[in-house]
Amino acid sequence: MLHADVAHVYETLYPTLFRVAYRICGNRSKAEDVCQETFIKYFERGEPLPDLEQTKYWLIRVLRNLALNHEKKRSRESKAYQRFARNSRQYTESGETEVLQEEARSLVQRALDRLPYNLRSVLVLKEYADLGYREIARVLGISEGNVKVRVFRARERLAQLLEDDL
């Protein structure tokens, strides 16, 4: 694989991959990390895919898996923090304020985070990666009809979560 090919793929697809990663992870730093890991895996692959479109699908699948692993880790960390907070009164008021400020920073991101992963991933791919239903089906390995149902349910659920937060 030529380094120029990797550079072209990176420059062309990074913005899309970053948007997807950011919406899944909800954190700019984590999204950047997931994107970098994705491109490292592409580079380690050793041979380019036939065209940019197939490369895009491959990268999105890898990114989705890496983001899912991050999501699982974040969920475990969050549960551990909640247990600590319930069982300990030693944290300071400024710590409470920081947590509340971080939680309040983005209404939409919070609502996205509360969606089940299978709904969030299709919505993110549809709305932030600008993929069509057929493309999403291909990336996720599910039927196009299933994608349409999930996008519909995700939008309904997201609207309800946003309404509940207001």
Residue range 16-71, pLDDT digits in tens? 999 999 888 888 888 999 999 999 889 888 787 888 999 999 999 999 888 887 77
Compute the distance between CA of residue 49 and CA of residue 51 in angstroms, rounded to an integer: 6
Give span(s): CATH 1.10.1740, the chain: 1-90
Ramachandran region of residue 92, left (φ > 0), alpha (ψ -120 to 50) or beta? beta
What's the pLDDT tens digit per position in 100-110?
555 545 677 87
Average pLDDT, the chain: 80
Compute the distance between CA of residue 83 and CA of residue 31 in angstroms, rounded to an integer: 26
Domain covering 106-166: architecture: Orthogonal Bundle (1.10)
Whether this prediction's pTM lies above 0.85 is answered by no
**Higher-pLDDT residue of 87, 36:** 36
Beta carbons of 17 and 130 less than 8 angstroms apart: no
Give Cα separations from 27 to 33, 44, 147 (angstroms). Answer: 10, 26, 25
Ramachandran region of residue 46, left (φ > 0), alpha (ψ -120 to 50) or beta? left
In the structure, what pLDDT confidence band is assigned to residue 147 with cuts at 50, 70 and 90?
very high
Q: What's the CATH number for 1-90? A: 1.10.1740
